Amino acid sequence: MKRVFVNKVSKYVGEKVILKGWVYNSRRSGKIGFLTFRDGFGLLQCIVVKNDVGDEKFELFKTLTQESSVIITGEVVKNERAPGGFEILVSDVELIHLSKDYPITPKEHGTDFLMNNRHLWLRSKRQHAILRVRHQIVKAIRDFFDSNDFTLVDSPIFTPNAAEGTSTLFGTDYFGKTAYLAQTGQLYGEASAMAFGRHYNFGPCFRAEKSKTRRHLTEFWMVEPEIAYCDIEEDMQWAEDLLVHIVNEVLEHRLEELKVLDRDVDLLKKTKGPLPRISYTDCIEILQKDGFDIEWGDDFGSPEETHIAEKYDRPVIVHRFPSKIKAFYMKRDPEDEKVVLGMDILAPEGYGEIVGGSERETDIDVLIERIEEEGLNQDDYEWFLDLRRFGSVPHSGFGMGLERVVAWICGLSHIRETTPFARTMGRINP
RNA sequence: UCCGGUAUAGCUCAGUUGGUUAGAGCAGCGGACUGUUAAUCCGCGUGUCCGAGGUUCGAGUCCUCGUACCGGAGCCA
């Protein structure tokens, strides 16, 4: 007899198989029982008939509780009445472990309670679907860069200095010195791009911002490509191609999961290139015309960002921001010194900024000046300045926040469900 | 950090103008039922009313402080 996984049972119709997993739910109607079985690959209805399994096994079945672990033996049959179209006619049930008082019942729960039980919540259908979409997105990202000859070069997590100011960094004791957890791999990415031409890094980032919103985590994953001999226009194109590829891959492989999440797939299907591009200056005009109290030079707040994004049915690229509101390493536009060659991509439906990128400043004097302006210590950036001393070339890159992309694609109301164990301002457990 | 809200059974919540004995559904346990989809039906139990102080003859209810959580803002991916 063969041990099979739930997602493959359709290949074994008429055969007797073994399934190893857990009880998702069980119901009884006299001498026939319905056990919804889960093995991590999917859910499957198992039929336990008293006359088939015998009195002893039927009594055992009656004692099974939610999330007890079981090994089921039975015949795979096709049946329209079963969710998914297939079910198991059980001939034997073996109890591995009896679960007592599983806290998450098949009824409503509050988010705080569920987050306290996150280690168990992961087993539920909805969380399972979200994390499978996340997995698909990660795979799509890696495949995209791999097929375009990018080399994965990891950036360090312990860093001695800040990339963009120190207020948002977590400090740790590093043998008597202060080390910070990386908030971005950006600066190291530039070194890698000069070594490998096309590079990306993909790992966790840490921000100590006291942000308590549905869009913020203190620990999140960011993918950051950096490309040598690349200007801002090409940079936008790379970001667009990556986004479109991610959406296509999820639509191709995870429709079932999107259905579980009740996601409006038609909205996602609109994410096709070319994505609209609009300058910061044009955004300000639109915002002023629509009654927002905003002046050229101000950064967008959340309402402004949402207003711009709502003008489009797909992600929109906003470019050329005032240099004052952007990071020191962004290159100034030679055609207009007041703005930098930076870009953000705003997701539709109010999901906010999912990508931020730029062409990088190559002029070492401008960089030194900007480092001073930001109040940063030049000594910490000498290695970074070396990249402008030895074979400096025009280069660009961007960062894409994985969790925000997952939230948008899944249509979630809060980012905390996009990651297995969310770290937010108020939570570090479980 | 600022603004607003909430805190009552294992879970989700109700609880009137302050009134004497604290309520429901679900989960759990027992029973009925051979096609259930969060099954249904019958029976059974459960409380530091978030904490401390105050007002009052009397506080789950009103006041003060604290704590936790939720929503929003700022900041950002």
- Distance, CA of A385 to C1' of B28, in Å: 66
Integer Cα distance of A430 and A416 in angstroms: 13
Q: Which domains does chain A have, with CATH numbers?
A: 2-97 (2.40.50.140), 118-418 (3.30.930.10)
What pLDDT does A430 receive?
Answer: 82
Q: Which two tokens stand for residue A374?
A: 């930001």
- Distance, CA of A108 to C1' of B13, in Å: 11
Provide φ and ψ at A303, rounded to 5°. -65, -40
Question: What nucleotide is nearest A398 when CA is compared to C1'?
Answer: B77
Question: Shortest CA distance to A330 belongs to which of A277, A387, A396, A234?
Answer: A396
Q: What letter does residue A9 receive in the DSSP assignment?
A: G
Contacts of A380 (CB under 8 A, 6+ apart): A160, A161, A162
Question: What nucleotide is nearest A47 when CA is compared to C1'?
Answer: B35
Residue with tokens 């994985």: A402
Q: What letter does residue A8 receive in the DSSP assignment?
A: G
> What residue has its CA nearest to the C1' of B33?
A30
Q: Which two tokens stand for residue A270?
A: 């609109």
Q: What letter does residue A265 receive in the DSSP assignment?
A: H
Max Cα distance, chain A (Å): 86
Q: How far is CA A182 from the centre of its chain?
A: 18
Handedness of CA A198, A201, A207, A213 (dihedral sign): positive
Which of chain B's bases lie under 7 Å from a protein CB?
1-2, 10-13, 25-29, 32-40, 68-77
Integer Cα distance of A53 and A50 in angstroms: 6
Whether residue A403 contacts residue A415, with contact meaning beta carbons closer than 8 Å, is answered with yes
- Distance, CA of A101 to C1' of B46, in Å: 15
Task: Write out A129-181 in H/E/C secondary structure.
Answer: HHHHHHHHHHHHHHHHHHHCCCEECCCCCEECCCCCCCCCCCEEEECCEEEEE
Whether residue A86 contacts residue A13, with contact meaning beta carbons closer than 8 Å, is answered with yes
- Distance, CA of A170 to C1' of B52, in Å: 34
Question: What nucleotide is nearest A168 when CA is compared to C1'?
Answer: B75
Integer Cα distance of A332 and A327 in angstroms: 11
Considering the entire predicted model, what is its pTM?
Answer: 0.92
Any idea of the CA torsion for A409, A144, A234, A389, to the nearest 10 degrees?
120
Q: How many CB atoms lie within 10 A of CB A153?
A: 17
Residue with tokens 């306290």: A116
Q: How many CB atoms lie within 10 A of CB A144?
A: 21
What pLDDT does A163 receive?
Answer: 55
Provide φ and ψ at A367, rounded to 5°. -60, -45
Tell me, what amino acid is at A185? G
Question: What nucleotide is nearest A356 when CA is compared to C1'?
Answer: B77
Per-10-residue mean pLDDT for chain A, 430 residues long? 94 95 90 92 93 89 91 94 92 91 83 88 91 96 97 92 64 86 90 96 89 86 96 96 97 93 90 92 91 87 87 93 88 92 91 92 91 83 93 95 93 89 85
- Distance, CA of A281 to C1' of B55, in Å: 60
What pLDDT does A106 receive?
Answer: 78
- Distance, CA of A106 to C1' of B44, in Å: 22
Q: Which two tokens stand for residue A376?
A: 């940063």
